[in-house]
């Protein structure tokens, strides 16, 4: 793990340093900028991204550097599952909320369901098709993460933007992908794991409207969730050659009392040989999901 870990972390750290220097030198702010909510993109000096076919060029391999996949809200450092087996290997770092205002505005009954999800996140029962998705964090089962979770999983993703009316986002985790249809009218024909993404440009910002997501995806390991009414509007805004700001407004009247917003930067992976590597995690879930149906298992 060592070498690859440092190959990943070093450029990320480097990019982070560049970004910090960029902010503080150009804005005079302290790099302390605390809750992700404090600084709106508009507070940064104007940056005009290079153009490709007349549009801002977002091509590249990008990665978030937040711990929101553990919990979108504030969370303490914790051991992770089965510390008696994994020791510090499975540890989950602490992190600050990436939510504007700090917490998710759940309806009371929905908050109870979130807590139930968290309590059941390591449980699995696929013996009945009807209850197939009732238990367990989809990430643990190697299911496609949905939007916005795919953006802040601790894995890189690549934006492939050419001269067609499609932009591809390819994610390393579970080799998930989504196609963003630019200036597209047609509504989602059916619900899917990565949803139905339609994009347009607002100045230098790529705005993506995501509907048609399967209700089974979660936002994080803490059991934060949504219903089939989820509507996400994302904004990708280039801030420097090395980073862009990501914002997502999350709306789901069945679960939340009002729309809410997350915001964090995405950093460009700078290694000259950076590429998405394969992360096909399905084989690692087979014993957990199907082991009890093996010959001689029960």
Asked if 79 is part of the footprint of another protein (rule: CB under 8 A), the reply reads no
How far, CA to CA in Å, does 262 sit from each of 197, 199, 245, 279, 298? 18, 19, 11, 26, 46
Cβ atoms within 10 Å, residue 254: 12
Which listed residue (190, 202, 203, 258) binds another protein by CB under 8 A? Answer: 190
Which listed residue (6, 82, 89, 293) binds another protein by CB under 8 A? Answer: 293
Asked if 282 is part of the footprint of another protein (rule: CB under 8 A), the reply reads yes
Among the candidate windows 12-20, 87-95, 124-132, 250-258, which touches another protein by CB under 8 A? 124-132
Residues 44 to 63: which contact another protein by CB under 8 A?
Answer: 52-53, 59
Asked if 173 is part of the footprint of another protein (rule: CB under 8 A), the reply reads no
Q: Which of 174/262 has CB closer to another protein?
A: 174
How far, CA to CA in Å, does 238 sit from each of 9, 48, 59, 252, 265? 22, 8, 11, 28, 10
Q: Which of 75/149 has CB closer to another protein?
A: 149
Which listed residue (15, 36, 104, 176) binds another protein by CB under 8 A? Answer: 176
Asked if 194 is part of the footprint of another protein (rule: CB under 8 A), the reply reads yes
Residues 262 to 281: which contact another protein by CB under 8 A?
Answer: 272-273, 275-278, 280
Q: Which of 92/166 has CB closer to another protein?
A: 166
Q: Return all residues near 38 (Cβ < 8 A) that are at least 6 apart.
A: none
Residues 137 to 166: which contact another protein by CB under 8 A?
Answer: 138, 141-144, 158, 160-164, 166
Q: Which residues bind another protein (CB under 8 A)?
A: 52-53, 59, 126-127, 129, 132, 138, 141-144, 158, 160-164, 166, 168, 170, 175-179, 189-190, 192-194, 214, 216, 272-273, 275-278, 280, 282-283, 285-286, 289-291, 293-295, 298
């Amino acid at each position: 793990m060592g070498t690859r870990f440092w190959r990943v972390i070093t450029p990320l750290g480097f990019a982070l340093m560049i970004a910090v220097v960029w902010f503080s030198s150009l804005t005079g702010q302290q790099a302390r900028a605390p809750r992700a909510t404090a600084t709106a993109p508009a507070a940064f000096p104007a940056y005009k991204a290079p153009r490709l076919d007349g549009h801002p060029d977002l091509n590249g391999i990008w990665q978030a550097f937040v711990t929101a996949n553990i919990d979108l809200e504030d969370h303490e450092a914790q051991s992770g599952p089965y510390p008696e087996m994994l020791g510090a290997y499975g540890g989950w770092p602490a992190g600050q909320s990436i939510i504007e205002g700090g917490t998710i505005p759940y309806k009371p009954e929905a908050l109870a369901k979130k807590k139930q999800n968290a309590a059941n996140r390591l449980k699995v029962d696929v013996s009945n098709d009807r209850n197939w998705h009732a238990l367990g964090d989809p990430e643990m089962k190697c299911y496609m993460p949905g939007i916005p979770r795919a953006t802040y999983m601790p894995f890189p993703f690549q934006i492939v933007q050419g001269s067609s009316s499609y932009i591809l986002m390819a994610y390393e985790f579970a080799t998930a992908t989504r196609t963003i249809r630019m200036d597209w009218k047609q509504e989602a024909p059916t619900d899917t794991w990565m949803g139905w993404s339609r994009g347009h440009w607002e100045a230098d910002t790529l705005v993506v409207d995501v509907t048609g997501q399967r209700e089974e995806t979660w936002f994080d390991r803490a059991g934060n969730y949504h219903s089939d009414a989820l509507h996400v509007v994302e904004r990708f805004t280039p801030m420097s050659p090395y980073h862009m700001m990501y914002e997502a407004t999350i709306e789901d009247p069945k679960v939340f009392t009002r729309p809410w917003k997350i915001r964090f930067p995405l950093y460009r992976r700078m290694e000259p040989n950076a590429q998405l590597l394969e992360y096909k995690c399905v084989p690692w879930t087979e014993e957990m999901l199907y082991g009890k149906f093996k010959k001689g298992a029960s």
